[in-house]
Amino acid sequence: MAASGSVSIQGTVNDLPSGSKTLGPITQTSAAAVDASTQLELQSGDNTITIPTAAEFVIIVFDPTSATTKKLKGNAGDTGIRVDPAGSVLLPLDATHPTLIINSSATDTGLTTTVIFV
């Protein structure tokens, strides 16, 4: 039997000029989940992570005490997308995803980033 997986996001944003907004539930599922994860101490610059062939999405969890600027980017000279240095990211993947690059403005000494592929 193949492994399966799902991640759901749900929330509420309050006190907006237009009132409250409910988000989700948004569910990302995989009928053939992979069993792959890695933990690393991000180094200054580009940290390249190989994505397993069958992975359908990735969850990145940064250390909650980290303050270094982080960007998700491609391997070209693009600038990438800045993300919360102490937050997390859920990213659906397409079929042509050989690598994931997390650029860090400095070494996250003693702090662990967890990357989970599903």
**Could you tell me where the beta strands, DSSP code E, fall in the chain?**
5-16, 19-30, 36-40, 45-50, 57-61, 70-73, 81-83, 88-92, 99-104, 113-117
113 belongs to a structural domain = yes
- The CATH number covering residue 42 comes to 2.60.120.10
State residue 63's pLDDT score: 97
Q: What tens-digit pLDDT sequence spans the chain (118 residues)?
A: 678 888 899 999 999 999 999 999 999 888 888 989 999 999 999 999 999 988 999 999 999 999 999 999 877 766 789 999 999 999 998 888 778 999 999 999 999 999 999 9
56 belongs to a structural domain = yes
State residue 95's pLDDT score: 82
> Which residue range(s) make up the domain with 108?
33-117
38 belongs to a structural domain = yes
Domain count along the chain: 1
Q: How many residues does the chain have?
A: 118
50 belongs to a structural domain = yes
Please say whether the beta carbons of 113 and 40 come within 8 A. yes
Which two tokens mark 31? Answer: 């009928």
68 belongs to a structural domain = yes
